[in-house]
Chain A
Amino acid sequence: MDQTSRFKGKIVTDQAAGNITRSEELAYELKIAEVMSTQMQLLSPDMHMGDVLAMFRQAHISGAPVVENGKCVGIISIEDTIRCLLNNDMQAPVSEYMTRNVITINSVEPVISALKTFVTIQVGRLPVVNEGGDLVGILTKGDITRGLLKALQHDYQAEEVIRYRASHLFEDIESDRTSLILRYNIAPRDFTKGGAASSNIKRALVRLGAPPQIARRTGIAVYEAEINLIIHTTNGGVIRVEIEPQKITIDAYDDGPGIADIDQALRPGFSTATNEVRELGFGAGMGLVNISRCVDSMKLESTVGVGTRLKMKINLETQDAFREGSTATKETKA
């Protein structure tokens, strides 16, 4: 019941939702600040109407906001200048002919709000204000059309790039060695950022056109390495991922405290995590075990007091791209 009231009684059927065009969607996504004109002619309340008319002619505009102390106090449109001309009153100040109580619109609102306002009140332009109520721009229907076209053009180009990349993972780049290196600095104990590096790496791989299973396996391996750096390191660490046409190499390293017994660290269920960390659901002692399941090879080196380095490698050109967690056994059996 609550959901329908959120849409103000208008029920959107699945079919109607499917028919929503990209430009309609963009009207919700684009902010007014992104499409408005910021270069605008400003009027002051004591300016002569004759000068306003001259300005309108020169700048080829049909209206402008009236500003006092940064705030929009009125608006003059071409109709107001015609009224003034008919009265033969061109020496009058702007304040006498301007429309007061101007309807403004907030720059952070989506373009759709402006479109609705244009439909309900018959005006040619809307002054745009910021959170503090200061005038920051002016919006006409023309600005909206231009903004939407620009965004559509941008969309189209982005799609072209993705489509291109998806079918050529470095394939058409000729060099003796092609690689892309991604580096992430991981801060100690910052659990709020946990998973940021791994999801960024996974996303990058998907964009580059890596098979989804490879992207997922890399994501899981990097996630576990990332969480280890957050939980255990003294000063944080670095994750370095090198993507090559045949393989992905992941290096996670830090400068301490180091692991005393590597065999013990690799044992499933062994963890040195504190109770505090365990309460968050970490420290199951499965991190390195998970990594070994997701990568084709791994090497853990550590010196107490110096630091730890975990090197992992995932081959891109294997038939074994489905090895992943518990699904691995099922899929190899099938």
Chain B
Amino acid sequence: MNLQNIIDDLNLTLLTERKDFSAVEISEGYTSDLLSCVMAGAPHGSVWVTLQAHANIVAVAALLELGAIIISEDAQPGPATLAKANQEGITMLSTPRKSFEVVGRLWEMGLRG
């Protein structure tokens, strides 16, 4: 499954620069709002579902080379955070859905953690 499938199926809003998301393969996912847990648990290239929207999630995603961050409950990152994400090449997506529902849908799509 690629990131474009996920964006389409979950109707996610793109917050960062557009890329060829159909070329970004995603097979695993992870969810937590605690950054150290993400550091320990999020697989390389996975999609991370979180409620956090501050700049440090970009640092975490960049260090782990994650495929994308899905921010739930419409939490809005600030312009500095988005600028940093674009600079680091991290894709940030947002949705009004709750983390629980996002993860459920990703699991239904076949994503595993």
- Give Cα A198 to B58, complex, Å: 12
Q: In this complex, what residue of B is CB-closest to A286?
A: B36
Report chain B residues within 8 Å CB of A280: 52, 54, 56
Contact flag A290-B40 (CB < 8 Å), given A199-B59, A223-B60, A280-B54: yes
B88 x A281 contact (CB < 8 A): no
The one of B20, B35, B80, B88 that contacts A282, using a Cβ cutoff of 8 Å: B35
Q: A280-B52, A325-B42 are in contact. Are A195 and B37 (CB under 8 A)?
A: no
Chain A residue with the shortest CB-CB distance to B65: A216
Q: How far is the CB of B42 from chain A (nearest CB, A)?
A: 7
Residue A327 at the B interface, CB < 8 A?
yes
- B20→A14 contact, CB < 8 A: yes
Chain A hits for B64, CB < 8 A: 216, 220, 325
Q: Is the interface of B mostly helix, strand, loop or mixed?
A: helix
Question: Which A residues are in CB contact (< 8 Å) with B41?
Answer: 325-326
With A192-B55, A194-B55, A195-B58 already in contact, the answer to whether A327 and B43 are too (CB < 8 A) is: yes
- Residues from chain A with a CB closer than 8 A to the CB of B111 are none
CB interface residues, A 160-179, toward B, < 8 Å: none
B88 and A199 within 8 A (CB): yes
Of residues 1 to 22 in A, which have CB atoms within 8 Å of B's CB atoms?
Answer: 3, 14
Q: How distant is the Cα of A227 from the Cα of B65 in the complex, in angstroms?
A: 19
In the complex, which residues of chain A have a beta carbon less than 8 angstroms from the beta carbon of B54?
A: 191, 280-281
CB of A254 within 8 Å of the partner chain: no
A202 within 8 A of B: yes
Least distance between A103 CB and chain B CB atoms (Å) = 31
Q: Is the CB of A224 within 8 A of B39?
A: yes
- Residues 182-204 of chain A: 1 if any B CB is under 8 Å from the residue's CB, otherwise 0? 00000000011011101100100
Task: Kindly state the separation between the CA atoms of A75 and B103 in the bound complex, as whole angstroms.
Answer: 63
Within 8 A of A (CB), among B22-78: 33-37, 39-44, 50, 52, 54-60, 62-65
| B39 with A325: CB separation less than 8 A | yes
How many residues of chain A are within 8 Å of chain B by beta carbon?
30
A281 contact set on B, CB distance < 8 A = 33-35, 50, 52, 54, 56-57
Interface size on B, residues (CB 8 A): 28
The A contact surface, by secondary structure, is helix
Q: Contact partner of B40 among A192, A282, A326, CB < 8 A?
A: A326
Q: Which one, A3, A198, A282, A327, contacts B63 given CB within 8 A?
A: A198
> Hey, which chain B residues are within 8 Å of A219, CB to CB?
63
Cβ B63 vs Cβ A202 within 8 A: yes
Closest residue on chain B to residue A327 by CB atoms? B43
The answer for the CA separation of A309 and B1 in the assembled complex, in Å, is 45
Give the distance in Å from the alpha carbon of A307 to the alpha carbon of B56 in the complex.
Answer: 26
CA A223 to CA B57, docked complex, whole Å: 12
List residues of chain A with CB within 8 A of the CB of B60. Answer: 195, 223
B33 contact set on A, CB distance < 8 A: 281
* Nearest CB in chain B: distance from A248 CB, A: 15
A110, B39: Cα distance in complex, Å:
38
Identity of the chain A residue whose Cβ is nearest the Cβ of B44 in the assembled complex? A327
CA distance A293 to B40 in the complex (A): 8
Tell me how far the C-beta of B93 lies from the nearest C-beta in chain A, rounded to whole angstroms. 15
A284: chain B residues at CB < 8 Å are: 34-37
Closest residue on chain A to residue B57 by CB atoms = A281
Which single member of B34, B42, B52 contacts A286 (CB below 8 Å)? B34
Complex: A192 Cα to B83 Cα, angstroms = 13
Give CA–CA (A224, B38) in the complex, Å: 12
- Nearest 4 interchain pairs by C-beta: A195-B59, A286-B36, A284-B34, A284-B36
Can you give 17 A-B contacts (C-beta < 8 A)? A191-B56, A192-B55, A194-B55, A194-B56, A196-B59, A199-B59, A219-B63, A220-B39, A223-B39, A227-B35, A281-B35, A281-B56, A282-B34, A286-B36, A289-B40, A325-B43, A326-B43
Which residues of B come within 8 Å of A, CB atoms? 18, 20, 33-37, 39-44, 50, 52, 54-60, 62-65, 80, 88
Q: Give 10 A-B pairs besides A3-B18, A282-B34 with Cβ atoms closer than 8 angstroms.
A: A191-B54, A191-B56, A192-B80, A195-B62, A223-B63, A282-B56, A283-B34, A284-B36, A286-B34, A326-B42
